[in-house]
Chain A
Amino acid sequence: MNCQKFQNEFDDRLDGRLDPARAQAFDAHTAGCPACRSEWQAYQAVWEIVSRQPSVVPSFGFAQRTLRRLHAPVERRFWQLPVFRWATALSLLALMCLTGGLAHRQAETNRRVAAYAAAQHDRLDDFDVIVALDSLAGKTDL
C-alpha cells in the first residue's frame, strides 16, 4: 500500500468501514511508515478530543413542558394576526381602486386633450387654406 492510498483510507479506517483484509494492510503500513503513522495518529487524536465535547442533560420535566406547549395557543407574530391580514388586504384593495381611478381619470384627460388638439389642428389647417387663398388673391404676402 502506498502512502497516498493509505491516507485516502483514513476515514474508512476511523469509521470501521474497512474489511478485515484492508484493515490489516492499513495497520501494516502504519507500523512500517513513520510519516504515515504520525499523520494517522494526529487524525485519530483530533477525532478523539472532539468526542470530549460534553453532552447535555435535559432539564427536569422537559417532556411534560413539551406536552404543555403542544396545547398552548399558537404564538403568532403581529403580521400573522387575522385583523392585520384583513387590514393589509383592504388597504391593498383601496390602493388598487385609487390607482385604477387615477389612471382612468388621466386617460380621460388625455383623450380630451387629444380631441382639443385635433380640433385646433383642423382650425390651423383651415387657417393655412385661408392664407394660401389670400396669397393667391394677392391679399397677403407669404
Chain B
Amino acid sequence: MTTPNEIDVALMQRVKAGDEDAFRELIERHQRAVISVIYRALGDAWESEDLAQRVFIQVFRSARRYQPTAKFTTWLYTITHNAIRNEYRRRGRHAAESFDALTQPGETGEPGAQLADPQAIDPGQLVIERELQKQIQAAVQLLPEAQRTAVILCRFEGLPYEEIATVLNCSVSAVKSLLHRARETLKEKLRGYY
C-alpha cells in the first residue's frame, strides 16, 4: 500500500523533470495545510494565499535539488516556516497588524475561515465564539517565532516532535521546551476563556 509520503516523493520526481501536472497535483494535495499554517501565523487570508503561492513556486524551483532524505511534508513545512519568518522580517513586526474577520467561504471563491455552521449556533453564542477566535489568534501570533511555529505544527498539523525539530533546525528537547513555554503563555493570555 502506497503511503502519502511515497505519493509525494513520486510526484516530486516528476516535478524534477518539469512535469507541471505533477506539480499541480502536489499543490492540490498540500494547499490547505500550507495556507492554514501561514494564516495562523499571519492572520490574513489573502496574504496567506499570496505567500503560499510563493512557497509552492519555491518548491518547484528547488525541485532539482530535492532529495527524499526526509518526509516531503517536513521539507515543505521548512520552506513554509522560512517564508513566514522572512515575511515577518520584511514587515518588521511580530504580531498581525490586522485581524482578518472570520468569514464563511464566499460564493465568489475568496478564502475564508472555516467555522461551524452558524445556523446551528444562536447569535449570542456566535459573537462569543468569534471573540474567542480573535483572542486565540492574537495570542498565538504574539508568541515568539519558534514557539508559534511549534504550536501550529504540533496542534494543527499533528507533526511529531522529531519533524518539528527538523523544520526548526533544533533538538527534540528544544521543541518540548518551546511547546511548554508556549502553553504556559497561552494559559495566561487565555485565562477566563477556559
Contacts and interface: CB of A to CB of B under 8 A. Distances in A.
Nearest to A17: B161
A47 B114 contact: no
Nearest to A65: B53
Interface residues of A, number: 32
B48 interface: yes
A10 to B, nearest CB: 8
Contacts of A57: 32, 105, 111-114
Interface residues of B, number: 47
The main secondary structure of chain B at its interface with chain A is: helix
Contact of A60 (B109, B132, B180): B109
Interface string A69-100: 11000000000000000000000000000000
A49 B57 contact: no
Contact of A63 (B27, B113, B155): B27
B57 A69 contact: yes
Contacts of B49: 58-59, 62
B56 interface: yes
A57 B35 CA distance: 8
Which of B31, B132, B151, B194 has the largest number of chain A CB atoms within 10 A?
B194
29 contacts: A10-B180, A10-B183, A11-B176, A11-B179, A11-B183, A15-B154, A42-B187, A42-B194, A46-B183, A46-B187, A48-B194, A49-B136, A51-B156, A52-B133, A53-B136, A56-B114, A57-B32, A57-B111, A57-B114, A58-B111, A59-B49, A62-B31, A62-B49, A63-B28, A64-B24, A66-B57, A69-B53, A70-B20, A70-B57
